[in-house]
Chain A
Amino acid sequence: MKHLIPEFEKLRARYPAGFESSFVLPCLRRIQEDRGYVADRDIDALVEYLGVPRIQIEEVLSFYGQFRRKPIGRCHIQACRNVSCSLLGAERILDHLTKKLGIAPGQTTADGRYTLSTVECLAACGTAPVLMIDDAYHESMTPEKIDALLAALV
């Protein structure tokens, strides 16, 4: 994590004084972006850098859905299954994904390529059903579009 400290220092510029505790979320996000997940030694390093109690970081990592403490597949496929997506076929999309990838939500393919998750509303309801792959939204999905996407994602 230490190599990220210059970035963290720049981050502080627009915050008022005394906001050290606030840096926990942005720092964790950047660490996860960098490593793919947040390792135990990252937590130790962040405790030392920010001076916050270790338990605060552990709580934050377990409370927020986007943080993870273990690596996942190279490509994270997140399928929304909330109302509007369900009304427009999200269940069918998820079925197609589980068959195509051979894994259930929460699992990673044996070759480490794909992790499949279900997520809640992504605020893309107008173009449902929607998938979030890594950081990007893929809207108005169909099984055909999924096949094309997976083919391109090598």
Chain B
Amino acid sequence: MANTKLLMTFPVTETSHTLAEYRARGGYGALEKALRQMTPQEVVAEVTASGIQGRGGAAFPMGRKWAVVHPNDGQSHYLCANADEGEPGTFKDRWILEYAPHLLLESMLIASYALQVRNAFIYIRGEFDLPYRRLAAALEEAYAAGYFGERILGTDFACDLVIYRGAGSYVCGEASALITSIEGKRGYPRNRPPRLTVRGLYQKPTVINNVETLSNVAWIITNGGEAFKQVGTAKDPGTRLISISGHIERPGVYEIEIGYPFAKFIDEDCGGILGGRALKGIIPGGISTKVLTGKEIEPLTLDNQSLAAAGSSMGSGGMIVIAEGTCMVRLLQVLLRFYHHESCGQCTPCREGMGWLHRIIDRIVVGEGRAGDIERMYQISAWNDGTTICGMGDAAGYATSGILNKFRDEFEYFIEHKRSRCNGTLECPKSS
């Protein structure tokens, strides 16, 4: 299958992120086209026609989200790019922030024009320092060039953008927690209704999109929604940035056309399993997606439909490769420690459930596992499925039940024998 590139279309150098080089590549041409030749409604229509789905993890169609915001309703509208990228295993938005910041900025300008947004935000996780400085420098370049502020490109369109830095909280990557954080408060997710596109930031209509999703807007406007549909699959068009890590020979960020064969990607593009070991499993899209075994991956293609049929998801595009010999019990312990630490604490099932799961896995790992522990973990996962304020409770449940489903025997062994069947190993040597 062809592997078209829409985002990683240029060689990365010391200066490829600058305004001059971005413009040399045709940058800000899409903005010109949108402002001079299209109405806001036409821009929304083009994005809707592209069929692009969210690349943050939820896969919600971007056009459908945008369509909820009513034009000319007399209210302020806000646009937020979600650059919180906290999902373990995921580092592909970082690529855009560090190497293609103007791509994001141009796309946000087009989106702001389409949605009648006067003030846009990029919520960037607090730990990102270099990405923040690249983005901030790019923003100043763009302001200086007149792409932000009043009368952009001599039109009536005005837009200001603020880069809002987070301060160390995974849950702020959840859209409603993100805007509550921008309001200067704790990152507490909100119940829906109301949807954020109806009442979001300071109770005004707000669109929150992932960095990668937004960054596709410039190409869509330049080439059209129909052209975008020709890339990838019918139900899931375009490309995805995959960040792959773990026990893989060539970790990093790759752009693949959606529908690309999974096994080919692992074995050829990424060099196969580290040290030539056998593959135990892959967590395909961030730790909240269900782990797939080596065998299960063989017939799959990298798109949401294929992975959903296998009981998993493309998620955030954060792929984690696990070689044979890795202890899945200890791996789950790392995940549950993470979820416990990051739970905001608002709602009962997640607040109590995360601590409970963590305490159970800790007991198992020190040899104090009990007969009912596996069933109890399943039960806690079920109690968090669809019953919490945000998706974090569900996510922890999926991670837990996913690993238990595929590797139950390892847990039973650990509980019975009070030790790991794999010597408690997590690390795999880098080279064979």
What residues of chain A have their CB less than 8 Å away from a CB belonging to chain B?
Answer: 14-16, 18-26, 28-29, 52, 56, 59-60, 63-67, 81-84, 86-89, 91-92, 119-128, 132, 135-137
Contact = CB atoms under 8 A, between A and B. Distances in A.
A22 to B, nearest CB: 5
B335 A64 contact: no
Given A22-B183, A121-B90, A123-B90, 13 more contacts: A15-B162, A16-B118, A56-B185, A65-B168, A82-B334, A83-B283, A120-B342, A123-B85, A123-B86, A123-B127, A125-B243, A125-B320, A136-B129
Given A64-B126, A120-B338, A59 B162 contact: no
A56 B90 CA distance: 31
A120 B90 CA distance: 12
Interface stretch (B28-36, B357-365, B415-423, B424-432): B424-432
A91 B427 contact: yes
Contact of B167 (A29, A87, A91): A29
Query: 6 closest Cβ contacts across the A-B interface?
Result: A65-B168, A64-B167, A125-B245, A24-B184, A66-B168, A121-B88
B334 A123 contact: no
Nearest to B330: A86
B128 to A, nearest CB: 7
B84 to A, nearest CB: 9
Contacts, number: 160
Interface in B225-249: 243-247
B290 interface: no
A125 B318 contact: yes
B334 A81 contact: yes
B251 A126 contact: yes
Nearest to B148: A14
A81 B253 CA distance: 21
Interface in B303-347: 318, 320, 322, 326, 331, 334-335, 338, 341-342, 344
A149 to B, nearest CB: 17
Contacts of A82: 88, 334, 338
B251 to A, nearest CB: 4
A88 B164 contact: no
Contacts of A123: 85-86, 90-91, 93-94, 125, 127-128
A91 B423 CA distance: 14
Nearest to B318: A125
B169 interface: yes
B91 A120 contact: no
A14 B162 contact: yes
Contacts of B185: 21, 24, 56, 59-60
Interface size class of B (residues with CB under 8 A): 35 or more
Given A14-B160, A15-B162, A82-B338, A89 B119 contact: no
B187 interface: yes
A124 B342 CA distance: 18
B161 interface: yes
A91 B170 CA distance: 21
B165 interface: yes
Contacts of B167: 25, 28-29, 60, 64-67
Contacts of A29: 126, 165, 167
B76 A16 contact: yes
28 contacts: A14-B162, A15-B119, A16-B160, A25-B166, A28-B167, A29-B167, A59-B185, A64-B186, A64-B187, A65-B169, A67-B167, A82-B338, A83-B88, A83-B89, A83-B335, A84-B89, A84-B320, A86-B331, A89-B427, A123-B86, A123-B91, A125-B90, A125-B91, A125-B245, A125-B320, A126-B91, A128-B245, A128-B251
A121 B94 CA distance: 13
A17 to B, nearest CB: 10
B20 interface: no
Contacts of A120: 86, 88, 170, 338, 341-342
Contacts of B404: none
B187 A63 contact: yes
Contacts of B125: 123
B154 interface: no
Given A121-B89, A125-B89, A60 B94 contact: no
Contacts of B165: 25-26, 29
B171 to A, nearest CB: 10
Contacts of A88: 245-247, 427-428, 430
Contacts of A67: 167-168
Interface in B192-233: 202
